[in-house]
Structure 1
Amino acid sequence: MRLSVLDQSVAVTGRSEDASIRETLALAQHCEALGYERFWLSEHHSHPTIVGSAPEVLMAAIAATTQRIRIGSAGVMLPHYAPLKVAEQFRVLEALAPGRIDLGVGRAPGSDGRTAQLLNPNARHAADHFPLQVRELQAWVNGTELPEDHPGRGVSAKPAGPGAPTLWMLGSSNYGAQLAAHYGLPYAFAWFITDGQGAEEALTVYRELYRPSGLHPAPQPALCVWALAADTEAEAWQLFSSRERWKIDRNRGTLGPLQSPAEVAQRPYSVAEQVDAERLRSTALVGSTAQVASKLRALSEALQVEEIVVITWTHDPMARRRSYELLAQEFCSIPSPAREA
């Protein structure tokens, strides 16, 4: 089983939002040294907690400060943009880090409706054209021709080169699974969004409907999960209290920076909130290294996925780095020094 990373540049209390972007850059370098397969970045807009708004920009910085790890978007919310421009951005990234770029795309807005409308005045209708956008993006990224009656036929995304970014479909429902299968693309299911609901069905749909493509002759599924390991189980659950409190607040319409465990402890749960907390703990991938590793292996086996992408939030960045260190001890091999270009 291979392990990768998804990071969202989360805002935390007591630290400015711009510092979260720099922490993401430091985490990417850390995870490369630990032997992780990929480092993916999400896209959200006008979000009080998740401040990673431009993955393509941050990917360039990571490309310049790493040598081996694959770098990707998880993902570009394609209805906001023109596929040609996205293709150009990622072909530039491919030139900066040949053979290391993943272009994950999704249909969700990554924002509220008003923000989505500001990003693209045609946002309400853009999502309806998502399959066509994916087809156009696929052609421009890979340098293949569009149909003869397409207005973009003959237009190319520069710079050209020997390689191309790897296009991934991201999703949390059967829709993305079906589209990935139709176009013969790798597919990552967002377990951390649905708490696992619909994962087995979506992955089954993906495999059963998969149409082999030249680049991907067989299905390539991955699973994105939220997980946290610490040196002791007690420490892990204490660290998890920040995420737990955030999810409970979010479900009641309140968003903000991630609070520290000490701040969370000053806000006792109501009876209803305690019920919600116990439900969250019952399915959380949290604990000691051995406990979390066992849960990840069980998920991999049950859903027949060979790659799991781990997202972790902690108020203290060092605790997050430690969690990735502990999981790397179980799943990752320290890479050989990269060859000089």
Structure 2
Amino acid sequence: MLIFVPKESVEGETRVALVPPSVKKLIGMGAELAVESGAGEAAGYPDSDYSDAGAEIREREDGLKSADLVLRVRPADPREVALQKRGSMASGLMDPFGSEDLMKAHADAGISALCSELIPRSTIAQKMDVLSSQANLAGYMAVVIATERLDSILPMMMTPAGTISPAKVFIIGVGVAGLQAIATARRLGARVEAFDTRPVVEEQVKSLGAKFVKIDIGDTGQTEQGYAKELTPEQVKMQQAGMAKVCASSDIVITTAKVFGRKAPRLLSAEMLKGMRPGSIVVDLAAESGGNVEGTVCDQEIVTDAGVRIIGWGALECRVPRDASQMYSSNMVNLIEHFWDKESSSLRLNFDDEIITGCLLTHEGKIVHERFTS
């Protein structure tokens, strides 16, 4: 079975779907590996590392046409999907709710498309969970970037010249990214507060040394997959009112709230931003899906009239591409290994497995995922 890793073509994407140690492991399992020249350069992996691991360096078109499985990070160009041979497979982030043309392209080409975003959040699939592994890094980078741009330091300092109070950081949304942001800000010495609509995460927040902000917005909870449920417009207003005072006293605010398959909820209004001090920082991790903050512009930094800096850079994990690639690559290898048939040295899709039923978008010329067939 030939696995091909093309160079990512989306502007600003620095990750690669497989790193050389993963290539070596897959070859040891019996797979053949081919990598496009330059695929790993942005992540610090030259072609020679892949060659040393046993991979062949191939031209893009040749690799796509001959591969049995194409591994990517970002969604493919639908025009390139048609180059793959019928009956082959593709895996990676596919933006299923925003790229209907890509889904149709895979179906029309007869390709079995495995969508990384739809891998179930179950115990057995945890090691394949791309969204969680990348969100960890995004949460870390949100704090690092905010710290670099803040006009003061994070930790308390007691010096002969006087005592400097610790900076206050407010994290909105305590998922994977939020928890990592809390841990990172605490390690840097900040005083951290956090809020989430799911009361169940309060213990996790406290275990990291942060204060959990309680705001009564009525009945809330989480989905079967562990995500926060979408709030009603009335609940959003109640939440904003409760958060306004905390934001006003914070030096850094990081928002992480996303609703899978929908536009991100608007959590910080322009009025709330006016209440923050000049020089304070807001990092919006939901910028790519519309933003949690009024005024966020994806992939840009803007400063409001009140002097608050809003950072809306997308995919912050791309700023640490070596580790991001290593984690993504590990997720991909775990997925392949789970369905690997040793006798035929190939990937076999088990349609009785919840992982396949959860993430398989297209198969044998049809869109097969239940969320997109109606």
TM-score (normalised: structure 2) = 0.29
Greater Rg over alpha carbons, structure: 2
